[in-house]
Amino acid sequence: MYRFNRAIIFLFCCIFLITAFSHDAYSQRQVEIRNIPHYDYRPYHFGFLLGVNKMDFALKPVDNLIELDYKELEDPINKFDNLYTVLPKHDFGFNIGIVSNLKLGKYFDLRFIPTLTFGDRTIVYEGIYNNDVLRDREQKIESTFLDFPLHLKYKSARINNTRVYVIGGIKYTYDLASGEDRYGDDDILARISRNDYYYELGIGFDHYFYYFKFSTELKASFGMNDILEREGTIYTNSIESLKSQIIQLSILFE
């Protein structure tokens, strides 16, 4: 619920910014020198996207973490006497995509941007081993996503060769590198499912050049599903829910 409230506040701030930006645009129309002036009259257009991302997990450990049964592990070298914390650790990656934009009205567009996204995340288990040794084990989770987002874009009035916009929508993701089917691999402590759904919010700026439109965009993606594969081990029993969180900074050429 806290994540949802933050997203709503972010959206309202963006709408306020666009409204103020649009109002200012009308007061500055007398100084217009526009590149590609007929660009926004096209019913549809295409382009491509390049970006970087920060992948993370929204991880919620179970309430009775220290009371779990740690004796179930057959390998005594990897056994914890007590498990104190389970923490996510973010990492960075990159993404490339193809932009498809359909004009719905003067200020609204419908966008479909299939994207290939690469990135890593880590789950860190910390506890006591052999009664007195503090140790940790890490599970690095590599992901290669096929993303299929559908966004509604609300844009301000254009000031000369610039406009601001916000986007919101949903996304389906298929993880090509998921370890969901790799059972029997002792090096995998926790696996995530291949399929996930997100809701997304973002803000960006369109810049019109002589031959093309260049955009910068910041977008946050919030996973809606618990993607942890339950296997009955302490590594999965210690986690109540595991959801994806991704922040992307992209440039778009359209």
For 42-87, the pLDDT digits (tens) are 999 999 999 999 999 999 988 877 766 655 544 444 566 677 889 9
Res 33: pLDDT: 67
Q: Has residue 15 got a pLDDT over 90?
A: no
Report the predicted TM-score, pTM, of the whole model to 2 decimal places.
0.79
Res 63: pLDDT: 85
Using an 8 Å Cβ cutoff, are 248 and 198 in contact? Answer: no
Written in H, E and C, the secondary structure of 58-106 is EEEECCCHHHCCHHHCCCHHHCCCEEEEEEEECEEEEEEEEEEEEECCC
Cα–Cα distance between 48 and 212 in angstroms, integer? 12
For 150-195, the pLDDT digits (tens) are 999 999 999 889 999 999 999 999 999 876 665 555 567 888 999 9
Confirm or reject CATH 1.10.357 for domain 2-253, answering yes or no. no
Q: Has residue 131 got a pLDDT over 80?
A: no
Percent of the chain having pLDDT more than 70?
Answer: 76
- Confidence grade of residue 95 (pLDDT, cut at 50, 70, 90): very high
The residue written with tokens 């996930």 in the block is 196
Cα–Cα distance between 154 and 105 in angstroms, integer? 10
Over residues 219-240, mean pLDDT: 89
Cα–Cα distance between 64 and 66 in angstroms, integer? 6
Domain boundaries, the chain: 2-253
210 against 185, higher pLDDT: 210
